[in-house]
Structure 1
Amino acid sequence: MPSELFTTLEGIWFLLAGFFLIGYALTDGFDLGTGILTLFTKKDENRQILYNAVAPVWDGNEVWLIAGGGMLFAAFPIVYAASFSGFYIAIFVVLWALIGRAVAFEYRNKKDSKLWKNIWDWIYWVGNTVPAFLFGVAVGNAVIGVPIDQQGVYHGSFFTLLRPVPLLMGLVGLFMFLMHGSAYLLRKTEGEVFQLSKKASYVGFFGFVASLILTDFLMVISAPFLYDNFFKYPVFWIAPALIISGLALYLINLVKGKYNAVIVGSTLTTIGTVLTIALATYPALMRSNINPDYNLTIWNSASSHITLTVMLVVTILIMPIVIFYTVYVYRVFKGKVSSEGGYH
């Protein structure tokens, strides 16, 4: 394990960046996964259950995304500038998709009309499915490399991002969130939605495994440097081991009918996936396929030490409050949900 991860401010903020990503993937990840299932049931009652399953927590879960964006802006501003300019259209699409999801929560039940609800159900489905896919595409491009120059200026278009490996990583993200969302629904629902979630759990599992294997195969050919860290620092193999153990637990609990424990497997798989990607690309945060010397790393893209220090103090003070509130909300709204009522 490289000692600079724990002994330097840049290394500590690299770990914190991973923490924020894991926090978002675990919380809003199952929101996205449940939303993907919206159009796979035609009954209004079942769709309302899918909404109600995440209604009390979805907006709080997005705090992790906001915190992650703020962290990137303050801790690694050059990476923030390069990624938000290079991925501008993709980020714009994700933003509008997430806005559509929020509006669907507010307006779906404002009018007792089948057409009205169907329109908002489509918007809600897009608002969950598109981000789940594009988050993976964005991460895939950042780790295998994009055309950025020595000043961190992006030289490409939206279509530059649509390459085989990033698109496959988009599928990895999509199926990972479907796994996690389905596991969450197995704990929260009954009846037809429960049966739908059980089927979706298998689809998510086998889709994740297939897309992950294919992605790894292509990366061995096109980006073998991503495996270097695992041979340089053998302790990094803990991350892939988490994926394997998580997948095993997920499938075993699913087959044995231990449905409340399935989410343990999806949680380990999600943590392992995020960690594996982060450790594979360390110390780079965004790679350049023009010249490796132009990679944006934790060393050449970080803010000043005084900025990193102040942010670290604030994070240490605020983060326990966020975690406590998150745990408290989930305890308050634990248990099964029904179709009665609706958001607002």
Structure 2
Amino acid sequence: MPMEMLTTLEGIWFLLAGVFLVGYALTDGFDLGTGILTIFTKKDENRRILYNAIAPVWDGNEVWLIAGGGMLFAAFPVVYAASFSGFYLAILLVLWALIGRAVAFEYRNKKETPLWRNTWDWIYWIGNFVPALLFGVAVGNAVIGVPIDQEGIYRGDFFTLLRPIPLLMGFVAAFMFLMHGSAYLLRKTEGEVFELAKKAAYIGFFGYVITLAITDFLMVIVAPFLYDNYFKYPLFWIAPAFIIIGLILYFKNLVSNNYDKVIYGSTLTTVGTVLTIALASYPVLMRSSLNPEYNLTIWNSASSHITLTVMLVVTILIMPIVIFYTTYVYRVFKGKVSSEGGYH
């Protein structure tokens, strides 16, 4: 492991950025995966169960996304400016999708007519699938490279982002979240929704493995530089090892009917996936496809040391509270859910 990752403020904030990404992927990840299953059951009772499974925690889980955006703005403002301007339409689609998901929670049960509920169910599904896909596409573009000039200005358009490898990474993310959401439902549900979650768990597993294998094969050809860090820093191999161990645990517990433990495998897989991509790109946060000298790294895009120091102190004080509260909420709302009651 490079020592500057532990001894410099820029390196420490790179690690903390990874914590925010992992936190969001683990928490809102199973929300997205659960929501993706909504339209695959026609019974209103089953759909209510899917809503109720995440109703107590979904909005709290999005704190990680908000905190991550704030962290990027304050710690690496140049990357924030380049990504939010370059990925403007994609980010706008994600925001509208997330807004639609939130509104669906509020309005779905205001009327009992099938048309009303089906409409909001589709909006809810879009609000989960679109972010799951586009988050992966955005990360794929950031690590593979986008047309950024020497001033950090994006010189492409929305369709520039829709290249094969980033799109494949989008599906890797979607299947990963489906795995995680299905594992969560195996702990929270019974009956028909439980059976649906079992089928989805297999689909998510094989979809993830296949799309990840194809993506890695193409990256060896198109972006071999992403493997350099793993030969330079052998300790980085811990991250892909998490993926392998996680997939083995996931499938082993699934086929042996240890359904409560399947989520351990999806958790390790999710952590390993996020860390593998981040460590492959280190110290680059956003790669330029025009010239490697235009890459936005932790060194040329970070805020001043005063800003990073103040943020570090605040994060050390606040993050344990967020983690404690999140853990407490999960403990309070543990156990199986039903279609009764629910959100509002």
Q: TM-score range by the shorter chain?
A: over 0.9
Q: Which residue of 1 aligns with 2:78?
A: 78
Instruction: Give distance in 1, aligned partners of 2:119 and 2:342.
Output: 17
Q: Is 1:93 the equivalent of 2:93?
A: yes
Q: Counterpart of 1:13? A: 13
Whole-angstrom CA distance in 1 between matches of 2:175 and 2:312 = 34
Counterpart residue number, 1:154: 154
- 5+ residue gaps, structure 1, are none
- Calculate percent identity across the aligned residue pairs: 83
Verify: 1:327 aligned to 2:327, yes or no.
yes
Distance 1:152 1:166 in 2: 20
Q: Within 2, Cα distance between the matches of 1:229 and 1:6?
A: 16
- Which one-letter code corresponds to 1:48 in the other structure? R
Partner Cα distance (1:300, 1:131) in 2: 29
> Corresponding residue for 2:29?
29
Task: Please name the residue that 1:280 is paired with.
Answer: 280
In 2, Cα distance between equivalents of 1:323 and 1:234: 30
Quote the Cα distance in structure 2 between the aligned partners of 1:161 and 1:72: 20
**Code of the aligned partner of 2:281:** T
Counterpart of 1:202 in structure 2 is 202
- 2:173 match: 173
Runs of 4 or more off by more than 6 Å in structure 1?
none
Shift of 1:89: 0.1
CA distance in 2, matches of 1:230, 1:150: 28
The answer to whether the Cα contact below 8 Å between 1:182 and 1:201 also exists between their aligned partners in 2 is: yes
- For 1:247, the aligned partner's letter is L
Q: Which residue number corresponds to residue 313 of structure 2?
A: 313
Alpha-carbon deviations, 1:26-76, whole Å to 9, x = none?
A: 000000000000000000000000000000000000000000000000000
Which residue is 1:131 aligned to? Answer: 131
Query: The residue matched to 2:156 in structure 1 has which SS?
Result: coil
Distance across 2 between alignment mates of 1:312 and 1:238: 26
Amino acid at match of 1:139: V
Q: Which residue of 2 aligns with 1:265?
A: 265
Is 2:187 the counterpart of 1:187?
yes
SS of residue matched to 2:115: helix
Q: Which residue of 2 aligns with 1:106?
A: 106
Output the amino acid matched with 1:245: I
Q: Unaligned stretches of 5+ in structure 2?
A: none
1:232-284 deviation line (CA, Å, top 9, x unaligned): 00110110000000000000000000000000000000000000000000000
Amino acid at match of 2:50: L
Partner of 2:240: 240
For the 8 Å contact 1:109–1:342, the answer to whether it is kept is no
In the alignment, residue 144 of structure 2 is paired with which amino acid?
I
Q: What is the alpha-carbon distance in structure 1 between the residues aligned to residue 299 and residue 50 of structure 2?
A: 44
Query: Which residue type is aligned with residue 10 of structure 1?
Result: E
Asked if the contact 1:77–1:301 (Cα under 8 Å) also holds between the matched residues in 2, the reply is yes
Q: For 1:116-127, what aligned pairs fall within 5 Å after superposition?
A: 116-127=116-127
Letter in 2 for 1:340: E
State the shift of 1:342 in Å.
Answer: 2.4
Match of 2:69 in 1: 69
Corresponding residue of 1:290: 290
| TM-score under structure 1 length normalisation | 1.00
Q: Which amino acid aligns with 1:173?
A: A
Shift of 1:112: 1.1
Letter in 2 for 1:96: W
1:67-94 Cα offsets, whole Å, 9 max, x none, are 0000000000000000000000000000
Look up the equivalent residue of 1:254 and give its one-letter code.
L
Aligned equivalents of 2:343 and 2:236: distance in 1?
Answer: 43
CA–CA separation in structure 2 for the residues paired with 1:205 and 1:120: 28
Deviation at 1:316, TM superposition (A): 0.4
Letter of the structure 2 residue corresponding to residue 223 of structure 1: A
Q: TM-score, normalised to structure 2's length?
A: 1.00
Deviation at 1:341, TM superposition (A): 1.4
Note the C-alpha offset of 1:153. Answer: 0.2
How many angstroms apart in 1 are the aligned matches of 2:342 and 2:56? 10
Structure 2 counterpart of 1:217: 217
Structure 2: distance between partners of 1:182 and 1:319: 28
Task: Tell me the C-alpha RMSD between the 2 structures.
Answer: 0.3
SS in 1 for 2:285: strand
Matched letter for residue 192 of structure 1: E
The residue aligned with 2:341 is 341
For the residues of structure 1 that align with 2:322 and 2:8, how far apart are their CA atoms? 25
Quick one: which amino acid aligns to residue 172 of structure 2?
A: V
- Letter of the aligned partner of 2:9 in structure 1? L
Aligned length: 344
Q: Distance in 1 between matches of 2:206 and 2:321?
A: 37
Partner amino acid for 1:201? A
